[in-house]
């Protein structure tokens, strides 16, 4: 009897302990699940929005793992509310304002350059006149002076002077167009090097890639034009720009070319924004292809019978007009079919802007710059007059 009661109490205690333990574990599991869910999901949501796919650089639409790779935002289908074009109103104003300001600055730049050239010409004439009429001085032997000066230099100084002389010779051998695009190419190389710095990845992704789904919309429209993550992408774009630089600058001049190039970069990005918003597929884009397509289209429109060749197949030649038609047809097909390897909308926008500018834009914009130049001339004249009176 005593043995039975002991067994009964022992079983009851064991059963009660097991039931209590089971309830505690369930309660603890629910509590942990309730409290940990926000901590687990909320940061991940932010991370996906801001810096998703850190280890996958973008090469076209493919992703490959690399230790140095930009944060990649995967293209996503947006909801109907996100398709609203209201968000594009600010980029539209930026495009119009930037384009107008660029052409205005180019007109003023041309005025100042022409004025400086005329002033330099008259200064050189005065110097030549004074040199001819200057009485000779005793011991005035320039060859002897420079020979003595060269002998006093160290070997390092001589090497530096030789290098600078060679660089100066190379620079003088370039055409006006090649000298014009040298700064653009240098800027692209600098931005490419910034992509190699791991600590710069967030900044580069925010300001040097264009995406209509991003919070920063306007500044990347111009900065992404100088941005390349792939060395091959940058090399191909800069080669095409270098090849067409002499032709485009001979057609438009340095100042007008710069205005067309920068404006084409912003306009092509805005066209890309519109197409991405309309299709609902968002993703980052970068590269100078839109602006370069504008240059290529302008040259091909102005000189349709010029002969072109492919870089790796120089034996095959074709006319510039045929090349332009093929490129426009290819980008139009890619845009309609939704090809994602290139930003076909940006390419097409740049090409159409280049064609429009050669056919209509030059007459509408550049040939009507005289009122702005007159206003600038009057402002300069008044400022000089007031400065002269003040100093007197």
The structure tokens listed for 8 are: 């009964």
Q: What angle do CA 314, 351, 366 make, to 5 degrees?
A: 115
Q: Report, in this order, helix, strand and coil percent for the chain, each rounded to 5.
A: 75, 5, 20
Q: Per the residue annotation, which of 210, 289, 294, 344 is the catalytic one?
A: 289
Cβ atoms of 257 and 334 within 8 Å: the answer is no
Residue that the structure tokens 């901590």 belong to: 39
- Of 334, 341, 49, nearest to 211 (Cα)? 49
Rounded to an integer, what distance in angstroms lies between the CA atom of residue 289 and that of residue 233? 9
Residue 276: alpha-carbon gap to chain centroid: 19
Q: Per the residue annotation, which of 228, 233, 344, 347 is the catalytic one?
A: 347
Residue 189: alpha-carbon gap to chain centroid: 11
Rounded to an integer, what distance in angstroms lies between the CA atom of residue 212 and that of residue 269? 10
Residue 60: alpha-carbon gap to chain centroid: 16
One-character DSSP codes across 299-338: HHHH-TT-EEEETTEEEEEEEHHHHHHHHHHHHHHHHHHT
Cβ atoms of 330 and 275 within 8 Å: the answer is no
Let me know if 99 is exposed, middle or buried by CB neighbors in 10 A (0-12, 13-18, 19+): buried
Annotation says 289 is catalytic: yes
Annotation says 5 is catalytic: no
Residues marked active site are found at 289, 347
């Amino acid at each position: 009897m005593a043995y039975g009661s002991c067994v009964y109490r022992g079983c009851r205690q064991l059963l009660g302990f097991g039931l209590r333990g089971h309830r505690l574990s369930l309660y603890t599991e629910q509590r942990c699940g309730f409290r940990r869910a926000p901590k687990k999901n909320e940061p991940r949501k932010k991370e996906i929005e801001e810096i998703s796919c850190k280890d996958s650089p973008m090469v076209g639409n493919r992703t490959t793992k690399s230790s140095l790779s930009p944060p990649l935002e995967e293209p996503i289908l947006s909801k109907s509310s996100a398709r609203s074009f209201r968000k594009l109103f600010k980029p539209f104003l930026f495009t119009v304002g930037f384009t107008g300001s660029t052409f205005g600055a180019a007109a003023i730049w041309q005025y100042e350059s022409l004025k400086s050239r005329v002033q330099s010409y008259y200064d050189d004439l005065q110097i030549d006149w004074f040199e001819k009429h200057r009485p000779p001085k005793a011991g005035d032997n320039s060859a002897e002076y420079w020979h003595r000066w060269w002998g006093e230099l160290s070997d390092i100084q001589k090497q530096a002077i030789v290098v600078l002389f060679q660089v100066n010779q190379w620079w003088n051998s370039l055409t006006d167009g090649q000298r014009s695009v040298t700064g653009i190419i240098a800027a692209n190389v600098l931005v490419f090097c910034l992509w190699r710095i791991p600590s710069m990845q967030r900044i580069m992704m925010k300001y040097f890639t264009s995406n209509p789904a991003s919070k920063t919309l306007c500044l990347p429209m111009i900065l992404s034009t100088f941005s390349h993550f792939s060395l091959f992408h940058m090399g191909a774009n800069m080669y095409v720009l270098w090849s067409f630089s002499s032709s485009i600058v001979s057609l438009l001049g340095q100042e007008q070319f710069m205005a067309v190039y920068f404006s084409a970069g912003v306009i092509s990005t805005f066209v890309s924004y519109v197409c991405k918003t309309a299709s609902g597929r968002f993703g980052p884009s970068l590269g100078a292809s839109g602006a370069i397509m504008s240059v290529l289209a302008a040259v091909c429109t102005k000189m349709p019978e010029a002969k072109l060749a492919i870089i790796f197949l120089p034996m095959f030649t074709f006319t510039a007009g045929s090349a332009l038609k093929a490129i426009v047809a290819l980008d139009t097909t890619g845009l309609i079919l939704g090809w994602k390897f290139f930003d076909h909308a940006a390419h097409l926008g740049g090409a159409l802007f280049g064609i429009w500018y050669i056919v209509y834009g030059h007459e509408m914009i550049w040939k009507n710059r005289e009122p702005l130049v007159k206003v600038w001339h009057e402002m300069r004249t008044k400022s000089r007059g007031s400065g002269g009176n003040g100093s007197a």
